[in-house]
Structure 1
């Protein structure tokens, strides 16, 4: 989304005006996202979470206002809890993270409690994988690793590598009871877990993408699998009657 950055308000001023214009009677509002984390870039938008008891249901809306791309996440005073539950079940705490780290724009006395709910969930981490889930994920990670090792087609290998990195990052984070993410949040989640490991992980795949050298990517995925017995193929079964 291209906007005129020389004619727009500051992020906080724009967010306050959004609330005043569209939600003057809301119970609470929070500005979240890259602008409050100090990670703003030229394409950053404003993520605003709104709590309005008059809303019949939650919704999400995107538009441009006051020179900014705006993403609204609107809830009544109960609907956000279903999103908390869903986010935690998939181990991607988007809404809890936004609420926990966000800056208050407006509050009629409801946000302390909601922020504490979010912080409690984030601190607890996702549900621990059971042995069956680990074996299933181990098998599919092995399968993609074997495809990566065996592929001699550069075009195919590029896409296999993307899948391999996603699965390896997920396996690392979930077996260590850490939150996962997608896109840029894969890198951020790995760094939150272990900055040195995240750097090595990134460098391993960068070596493949830049020089077609698979060695470090293969090594790091094998090191991820090693504590669980290494690659898993022989003896794996899914859905077979005992």
Structure 2
């Protein structure tokens, strides 16, 4: 079934008294694959607590995020504090399935948060992140066990992508959203990032990753080990 029609029927059958509903996710962005699901956000003033549920209906895997008219604000806040604005992004990009006059204001809230960006990292936070990246990089350089190298590289990719994005006050992501977030920030850097790690995974050559990490850390003082202290 057409995704919009399926989402509309699902909303009508399961949340007939809701005040608003949105269809979001990959189908809205034109990025759907064979395994994509429907992300539906529901706003129901009679709901006491927010919840999330996964079901299969109309030939679709459906993830529904259900909120009352205040609970979504706490999720907006917590998402932004961790710099992964999942719900604001869904609301901002969502296509209206139902609206009795509330969606425009909630969408505006979401858009303002997204445009503002995450809070700036403190000097202490940057130092801490530099230390953890340095630690992972040293492990990566010195490791000679192929199996261990792979997983150290995974950790390094996550730490470095977070560092680049947060020091530039950009939103971060997990899984496929790591590279999507990097592309949203800087397409050229994202390509370089992928190339460095892809080269290592294919050939075992670490040089591109090492050079890239050092270039990223250099404006903030480079690698950090000597003199680092935590909780002293």
Is the TM value for this pair above 0.5? yes
Indicate yes or no: 2:167 matched with 1:175.
Answer: yes
Answering whether residue 90 of structure 2 is matched by residue 98 of structure 1, we say yes
The residue number in structure 2 matching 1:136 is 128
The residue aligned with 2:149 is: 157
The offset of 1:102, in angstroms, is 0.7
Q: Pick from 101, 105, 109 the counterpart of residue 109 of structure 1.
A: 101
What displacement does 1:71 show? 0.0
Deviation at 1:154, TM superposition (A): 0.3
Aligned pairs, number: 232
Looking at structure 2, the residues matched to 206 and 128 of structure 1 have their Cα atoms a distance apart, in angstroms, of 30
Aligned to 1:4: none
Match of 1:83 among 68, 75, 90: 75
Deviation string 1:159-204 (CA, Å, 9 cap, x unpaired) is 0000000000000000000000000000000000000000000010
Partner of 1:40: 32
Residues 26-57 of structure 1: CA distance to partner in whole angstroms, max 9, x if unpaired? Answer: 10000000000010000000000000011111
- Return the offset for 1:25: 1.1
How far apart, CA to CA, are the structure 2 residues paired with 1:21 and 1:160?
A: 48
Q: 1: distance between equivalents of 2:22 and 2:211? A: 43
Choose the corresponding residue for 1:224, options 216, 219, 222: 216
Per the alignment, residue 18 of structure 2 pairs with: 26
1:218 alignment partner, SS class: helix
Per-residue displacement from partner, 1:37-93 (whole Å, max 9, x unpaired)?
Answer: 010000000000000011111000001000000000000000000000100100000
Q: Does 1:208 align with 2:188?
A: no
Q: Name the Cα RMSD after superposition.
A: 0.4
Q: In the aligned structure 2, how far is the partner of 1:23 from the partner of 1:47?
A: 15
Separation (CA, whole Å) in 1 of partners of 2:119 and 2:170: 9
TM-score (norm 1): 0.95
Q: In structure 2, how many angstroms separate the alpha carbons of the residues matched to 1:88 and 1:79?
A: 15
3-state SS, counterpart of residue 178 of structure 1: coil
Unaligned runs of 5+ in 1: 1-8
Distance 1:63 1:221 in 2: 42
**How many angstroms apart in 2 are the aligned matches of 1:45 and 1:83?**
21
Detail structure 1 runs of 4+ shifted over 6 Å in the superposition.
none
Cα distance per residue 1:196-224 (max 9 Å; x no partner): 00000001000000111111111111111
Residues 47-58 of structure 1: pairs in structure 2 closer than 5 A: 47-58=39-50
CA positional deviation for 1:229: 1.0
Tell me which residue corresponds to 1:5.
none
